[in-house]
Structure 1
Amino acid sequence: MKRRQFTTATAVGTIAAATALPDPASASASASTTRIGMADTQRLEAAFQQIATADQTRGGSTALESRALGFARLALGLQKNGIASQRVRQRLYYLAAVFTDTALWFAIDARAPERAERHLDRALRLAGLSGSPDIQLCLWGHAAMLAVQTDNFRDALAASEAGQASTACRQDPAYRSLAAARLAGAQARIGDGTAARRQVDVAARAYERAEPDVPREAWAGFFDRAELEGLSGLALASLGEHEQAEAYFHRTLSHLRPEYARNRQYYSTQLALSQLRQGDVELACVTGSAALAGAGHAPPNGRQRKLLDTFHRELNATAKHTGAAAAWTERYVGERNHDGRPSAGRR
């Protein structure tokens, strides 16, 4: 295991496995009044790993969102109808919360805030029943992301602060690092640069103190050096410190695991934006082109699509008549048309 790369005890499956997930509807037929043990929870955890792998490699979809909710219902069906120990029952509540949070993440990524709000409310209730501080930390992070997406920046700050105050953060420096990096982003959104930079430093110091070999819950498997650099870069970009943000995004992409294709697409676009906002139009267009679906990526989802639209809009506002912008626009419009979406056209 590489130093400073946080992983979970269970390895993620291959892409082929991720596209052949077990059917929660058919599995629920066996959720009768039988004894339920940890082996049943481990099968659910394997299903979660497969969904996570699909997200990492291809991005989310409404089908995966529905699948995650199906497994949450399955976990609750086992809870309701099975005979189980208290430990197993708490784990089932935890898994129901994790799957519902996964559906929440897919809704956020698709920029579907109404669906996301419903998933968040249910996931928070299930997390409380599970008694797990880890999943509560995860949910506060996604609550903050949802609040940012709906321009409720004060709610995002409150959710980030709740995450940082969680028991999980007190117990594990890795979780403290993640919570501090997210809090930095929320503080940057409201213009509190001093606090945001301080939390970026807090996140970096906590990360260095964390033990990478400590087993953590599967949902936290995404958090590693690359994600820390990326979250820090997002905070600095929100403050308008684009040169520093660019450096962070370069480090993100250099540390990013090969299977994290969706994250590479997202952070490549963030890097392109930081370069464009410094006036480096040609380099920004080269970087941005690498994030298009035609460069080997899956068609972008709602969040990535909006980010590409932002890059396109800012490029044409500042450098419309340059050759680099014209070449970008041709590729960008072609990619959108190929994706079956309305073309943004030349601006």
Structure 2
Amino acid sequence: MIRRTFVLGTGATLLTAALPTADAAPALGMDHLRALIEVEQHLYAQDRDHGSADLGHQAAAALHTAHSWLAQGRYGQDLGRRLHTATGMLSVAAGWLALDAGRTADARSLYTEALASARQADDPGLEAHAFACMSLLAHATGRPREAVGTAQVAQRTASGLGSPRWLALLAMREARGWALQGDRALTENAVVRAYRLYEQGPRGADPAWLDFFVPAELAGLESLCRADLGQHYRAAAGAEQAVMLFADGYPRNRALYTADVALHHAHRPSPDLDAATDAGHRTLAQLSEVHSARLLRSLRGIAGTLIPHQDTRCVTDFLDAYRSAVPAA
């Protein structure tokens, strides 16, 4: 029997996960596999639409269940491989939520778990995904050489999977690592490669989780490389392009790139305070819909960058609105 567990947040149901429960040494079947896949998909959908706040403990609970099934359950070799893959994908989702919350040590542990699951399942797709996530973690923790190295390993692992757009994302991960090292030539090379791969279009081999990698995200990822290279005007233009291309979809990503617009304008050699504060106000307006620790960190970064200009009226107005909307760290 499948028992449905309702996890309540502050006044609202944030996640409804269908997780079969069983006694000791249960016989596992397709219902168990589908339940893990559905939980993973639901976590990503909630994060995409509303942000990652309050999702981490739900991902952890689902992972605990998955590991219990693998350790105690009875299943055949084929189902076992698929359960290891589903558990690894759930580890990736939990790692992303941990990274967004700033819990980088937890993210690293979860990505390492995902890599172990990939090896147990003999699944090169999951293995490439885990290395790609490790590259993203390296970006976030200031290890650009590791960011490049893990992105290159991911590209080699994914090279035979028949998904040019996946390789495009991995090339952009590599580009970010080169940009963080200040290597403009190698950054440009990887960015051009990413666009050429992306232009080959979607394929049947594209994994479901790659749905987020729309043209808006491609533009946004390039804008981050431009910012790392100190090209703040181009970075701001690219982030604004990403916001416009997202239109009414992907609220979380749209909010994050709007915050990036503000940061890039504020970091220009001659800051454009009007543009920075305009984007800052647009970001604040999205807090009612998007709940993300990373978004709050971006807003605090915008405010900190603008404080030296607080005698300017538009900056004063933004800082007043910011202090009313964002809790103190």
Alpha-carbon distance in structure 2 between the residues aligned to 1:118 and 1:315? 36
Displacement of 1:196 after TM fit? 0.5
Q: Quote the residue 1:77 is aligned against.
A: 68
Deviation track 1:307-331 (CA, whole Å, cap 9, x = no partner) reads 22221122223x2211011001001
| Contact 2:163–2:206 (CA under 8 A) maintained in structure 1 | no
Q: Quote the residue 2:9 is aligned against.
A: none
Displacement of 1:75 after TM fit? 3.0
Q: Quote the residue 1:198 is aligned against.
A: 189
Q: Which amino acid aligns with 1:43?
A: A
Displacement of 1:114 after TM fit? 2.0
| Contact 2:147–2:173 (CA under 8 A) maintained in structure 1 | no
Q: Which 10-residue stretch deviates more, 45-54 or 63-72?
A: 63-72
1:324 is matched with which residue: 275, 292, 314?
314
Query: 3-state SS of the aligned residue for 1:21?
Result: strand
Displacement of 1:106 after TM fit? 0.9
Are 1:135 and 2:130 matched, yes or no? no
Mark the runs of 5 or more structure 2 residues left unpaired by the alignment.
1-11
1:21 is matched with which residue: 7, 12, 16?
16
Are 1:49 and 2:44 matched, yes or no? no
Aligned residues: 317
Mark the runs of 5 or more structure 1 residues left unpaired by the alignment.
1-16, 343-347
Deviation track 1:128-149 (CA, whole Å, cap 9, x = no partner) reads 2122222222222221222233
Alpha-carbon distance in structure 1 between the residues aligned to 2:184 and 2:170? 17
Alpha-carbon distance in structure 2 between the residues aligned to 1:115 and 1:47? 20
Q: Cα distance 1:54–1:31, how it changes in 2: closer, same or farther (>3 A)?
A: farther
Query: 3-state SS of the aligned residue for 2:80?
Result: helix
Q: Cα distance 1:123–1:170, how it changes in 2: closer, same or farther (>3 A)?
A: closer
TM-score by length of structure 2 reads 0.88
Q: Cα distance 1:264–1:30, how it changes in 2: closer, same or farther (>3 A)?
A: farther
1:241 is matched with which residue: 216, 222, 231?
231
Q: Cα distance 1:167–1:215, how it changes in 2: closer, same or farther (>3 A)?
A: closer
| Contact 1:177–1:207 (CA under 8 A) maintained in structure 2 | yes
Query: 3-state SS of the aligned residue for 1:209?
Result: coil
Q: Quote the residue 1:167 is aligned against.
A: 158
| Contact 1:226–1:255 (CA under 8 A) maintained in structure 2 | yes
Displacement of 1:169 after TM fit? 6.3
Displacement of 1:96 after TM fit? 0.7
Q: Cα distance 1:331–1:35, how it changes in 2: closer, same or farther (>3 A)?
A: closer
Are 1:270 and 2:260 matched, yes or no? yes
| Contact 1:169–1:175 (CA under 8 A) maintained in structure 2 | no
Deviation track 1:249-279 (CA, whole Å, cap 9, x = no partner) reads 1221122263411111100011112222332
Deviation track 1:72-116 (CA, whole Å, cap 9, x = no partner) reads 333333334444343321111011111111111111101112222
| Contact 1:137–1:168 (CA under 8 A) maintained in structure 2 | no
Displacement of 1:210 after TM fit? 2.8
Q: Cα distance 1:166–1:323, how it changes in 2: closer, same or farther (>3 A)?
A: same
Deviation track 1:177-210 (CA, whole Å, cap 9, x = no partner) reads 0001111111100111110011111111100113
Alpha-carbon distance in structure 2 between the residues aligned to 1:256 and 1:184? 22
Query: 3-state SS of the aligned residue for 2:142?
Result: coil
Alpha-carbon distance in structure 1 between the residues aligned to 2:291 and 2:66? 32
Query: 3-state SS of the aligned residue for 2:55?
Result: helix
Q: Cα distance 1:246–1:332, how it changes in 2: closer, same or farther (>3 A)?
A: same
